Amino acid sequence: MKKVILFFVAIFIGGSLMAQLPNFGLRIGMTTSKLSTNLSSNFESENRLGYQGGVFIRMNFNRLYVQPELIYNHRSTKLEYEINPVADLQEQSVGIRSQMKIGTFDIPVLIGFKLFDSKLMNVRIFAGPNISFSTNKNFTYEYVTNDGETIEGEVPEDQQLSVDDFNKTTWYLQAGAGVDVLFLTFDVRYEKGMSKMFEGDVSNLKDINLKNNVWVFTLGFKFI
């Protein structure tokens, strides 16, 4: 992790020396997260709202710019999955629903291009990698019928996604568009998971490949 941080510090310093006057600012936003998996017949995920906030620096090279950021991200999603064989409770075949909340510190480094640029406003497109370090995870489990109703019963540990099997570091690819009006900056981004979040297995479902995909809507304030 230290090497990664030093790499991004080098980008800050090197870019700042070559760039025009940089922009510093704050960003806050709303996210919607959904998990994708290689076992789509057994798993189903729904979007859930989360939030994020942090700081950014934008180093301008005429219409091109480089924008490293440091963001705290609170991701939330719902995952329903069936175990094999499906549990039989109260004479009903049921699956398992998990509510997942994950806190991370993210370091995106975006490369952007200003399609339109004036003193009052600009229109931008951008893309770049994002490395995410998890700080806390919270999972709750319950049995659910095919109709979406919950029923009582404690989910055994071997049928749960173990918190310890979730990777502490994951990679994403971000792409999006934005508009700046005076000191305000608006972004819409899509963040695609590029590495596995989970390295374990559940019951006799093997080799689960979970990746997180996120829509991000943010408002920022530029100080320079």
**pLDDT tens over the chain, length 224 residues:** 555 555 555 555 554 444 467 889 999 999 988 777 766 555 666 677 889 999 999 999 989 999 999 999 988 777 766 654 455 555 556 677 777 788 899 999 999 999 999 989 999 999 999 999 988 877 777 777 666 667 666 666 666 666 677 788 989 999 999 999 999 999 999 999 888 777 666 555 556 677 788 899 999 999 87
Structural domain spans, the chain:
2-222
- State both tokens at 30: 């709303």
Helix (H, G, I), strand (E, B) or coil at 182: coil
- What's the pLDDT score for residue 135? 86
- What's the pLDDT score for residue 85? 45
Separation of alpha carbons 219 and 201, rounded Å: 39
Separation of alpha carbons 81 and 79, rounded Å: 7
- pTM of the full structure: 0.75
Separation of alpha carbons 96 and 142, rounded Å: 6
- What's the pLDDT score for residue 189? 96
- CATH T-level assignment (fold) for domain 2-222: Porin (2.40.160)
- What's the pLDDT score for residue 139? 76
Angle at 16 between CA 70 and CA 125, to 5 degrees: 60
